[in-house]
Structure 1
Amino acid sequence: MSLSRRHLFGAAALASLAGVTSCAKPYTPEVIEGDGGKDALLENLRIHTPKTLAFSAPTTGFGTHGLLKSGLVGKVSLDYWVSMESLQSLITSDATDFVAVPMNVGANLYNKGVDLKLAAAVVWGMLYVIGPANATKDDLGQLKGKKIGVPYPNNMPDIVFRYLLKESGLSDKDVEIVSFPTGQELMSTFVKGDLEWALLPEHAMSVALMKSKKSGREVSRAIDLQQVWANVTGLPARFPMAGIAVPGRIAKDTKLMAGLFEELTKSVAQVNSASDETIAEINKRTGVPAPIIKQVIPRLQLNAVVGAEAKDDISDLFTRLATLNPKFIGGKVPDADFFLADPR
């Protein structure tokens, strides 16, 4: 039932970018009390996310939009998962109820027999290539004969990039790909000037731009991989990178799930509004400076789309990427039972 070590490491690294800019004191996991207490349908909703901007931001304000007054949930506990082993343990030991996951990790666990359902796709693309200030915008062809750093081997950023290269008429023989285990390590190498090009997710991309500018180096957000995706597929400039999964026992309770879907939708809308209060709360959780948070939120493309409604987009993404490496999703595209329908 366990994932391969290689895919465990890569996905865990993808979810560990919070340390890139964290400068505040460690955030203490919080508990938000409601009105229902022990009489609620679920006494304690245990939410787990990585401590990253992209993964944790969508749950900002979760519980304050009516859920805790509905009688469905007595209180909300917000905590973090720190490794793929801990994530799998949380799910299989019934120690979590609502968990943020990279999209391929949720599929992989499900395909390995873990009782897990996709409640919603939430993060719809956050991958960019940083390069010279005079780079041609959104053109992968300019990378021919060049060297580029790419993080998380055999996981979403790496496989998306290789797929887009292939669809653009290039291969790893045309472009020298230098693999890095984490985005933080790659970002540091780029900022030091040891690389001309690097693929980075947000918020590492915005941090790299900021630090390069401070050092006097002229660089640019050269290539938006979401736009390249649109160019080569004919689809919208987005793809589902991360979402919210729930254990089967939670998924079976349609009344509870209706309330959770509603709360998630409102929480994501709150984050997208980027009010000063919301930015401050995200800063408290992640340690990412407020100016970076304001820049990054629009580029995360946050949109809570119920699992069943996102099924076609997710299945299309997985079908395409699995032509390069089917193991990263557990060998196959998940069947329809993985995707929860909206009970509202």
Structure 2
Amino acid sequence: MVFASRRDALTGLAATGLAAVIPRSPAMAGEKLASVVINGMPATPSVVMARLIETGALARFADKAQLKVWRTPDQMRAGVVSGEMAVFGTPSYSCANMRNRGVPVRLMNIVTWGLLYLMSRDEAVQKIEDIAGKTVLMAFRNDAPDLIFRMTLRKLGMNPDTDVKLQYVGTPTEAVQLLLAGRASLAVISEPAATAAQIRGAAAGVTVRRTADLTAVYGRLTGRPPRIAQAGLGMREDFLQANPELVRAIHQGCIESARWVLDNPAEAGKLGAATLDLAAPVVERSIPHFRLDVVAAADAKPDLQHYFTALMEMSPDILGGRLPDDAFYWGPAA
């Protein structure tokens, strides 16, 4: 399988000096920024960012704090390379790939430790091994969901290119629509779309089962805890250098906001509904399924390197040919 994609073209711009540079921040002179934008991912972890903005924890650093949610990984990568996105939700491997290809980024933290599930309408599929010879819907080709699914199948001794038929779609929402319409019986779906599939299915009289937790399956096969350092926040280097205290505040705010989300799922569901354009009960019920635990990248480094090494065993190009350097892993003491 060839893993080269639009990410290579996008990140290649940085090496040629075409990436726009964020203007030097007024915070360097002790002044507040006019605004700070966190560009969240289209998944349940963005509820943490929404809570961070709601608390006003960044008010002493910026007059205005905003959360915007990107739609696709390609949109996120393009925004980071151009300089438009300075703080961004990202699959951890994608941030590492960008750095290895010359984009000046670092990983701030990990927020979710696994949120992918095999959802099924097929009664014959009771465990992941039962999917041999079947068609599976998958969003975001060559990105984290696809890579983690392939990584897991390889550990099972299956060839993801020949033992199953992967049918790629644009987004998790599209996968849910096709699954509920009966045009597919199996799909790998991230949260909160996985929970949405179950809730919407129940309303339509369709049973959608959470057949396999890919994170738990991978942990079982590797003898590790059910945790994959899947996604968190990244940042551009120029933003970090201009605003080190703001970065620390964002990270600490994520820790505190994550506690609130876990302790207040109903309120978090309402907060996340507008952010993710989903019904509040969907967001609320998805919260237990995305392994929320905010850990600084420096502290998560052993888990990240294990995950990155497993990805590189499939293809070194996934990480841009090597593990990222030590400076990639930000920590609050840095």
TM-score, structure 2 normalization:
0.82
SS in 2 for 1:229: helix
Residue 190 of structure 2 corresponds to: 201
- Tell me by how many angstroms 1:117 deviates: 0.8
- Tell me by how many angstroms 1:259 deviates: 2.3
What are the residue-to-residue correspondences of 1:248-263 with 2, within 5 Å?
248-252=237-241, 253-263=243-253
| Separation (CA, whole Å) in 2 of partners of 1:8 and 1:206 | 33
1:260-305 Cα distance to aligned partner (Å, 9 max, x none): 2211211222222234433222112222111111111111112111
Comparing 237-246 with 150-159, which one deviates more in the overlay?
Answer: 150-159
Relative distance call for 1:237 and 1:136 in structure 2 (3 A) is farther
For residue 233 of structure 1, the aligned residue among 213, 216, 222 is 222
Relative distance call for 1:145 and 1:47 in structure 2 (3 A) is closer
| Separation (CA, whole Å) in 2 of partners of 1:303 and 1:322 | 25
| Separation (CA, whole Å) in 2 of partners of 1:226 and 1:5 | 25
Does residue 243 (structure 1) correspond to residue 237 (structure 2)? The answer is no
Q: Any gaps of 5 or more consecutive residues in structure 1?
A: 10-35
Q: How many residues align?
A: 312
What are the residue-to-residue correspondences of 1:168-183 with 2, within 5 Å?
168-172=156-160, 173-183=162-172
> Residue 245 of structure 2 aligns to which amino acid in structure 1?
K
Does residue 121 (structure 1) correspond to residue 110 (structure 2)? The answer is yes
| Separation (CA, whole Å) in 2 of partners of 1:150 and 1:68 | 37
SS in 2 for 1:186: helix
What are the residue-to-residue correspondences of 1:131-150 with 2, within 5 Å?
131-132=120-121, 134=123, 139-150=127-138
> Residue 36 of structure 2 aligns to which amino acid in structure 1?
L
For residue 199 of structure 2, the aligned residue among 199, 210, 215 is 210
SS in 1 for 2:119: strand
> Residue 111 of structure 1 aligns to which amino acid in structure 2?
N
SS in 1 for 2:52: coil
> Residue 208 of structure 2 aligns to which amino acid in structure 1?
V
Residue 190 of structure 1 corresponds to: 179
Is the 8 Å Cα contact of residues 154 and 325 (structure 1) preserved in structure 2?
A: no
SS in 1 for 2:64: strand
Relative distance call for 1:84 and 1:251 in structure 2 (3 A) is same
Residue 91 of structure 2 corresponds to: 102
- Tell me by how many angstroms 1:206 deviates: 1.5
Residue 45 of structure 1 corresponds to: 36
For residue 288 of structure 1, the aligned residue among 273, 278, 293 is 278
| Separation (CA, whole Å) in 1 of partners of 2:249 and 2:201 | 44
Comparing 171-180 with 190-199, which one deviates more in the overlay?
Answer: 171-180
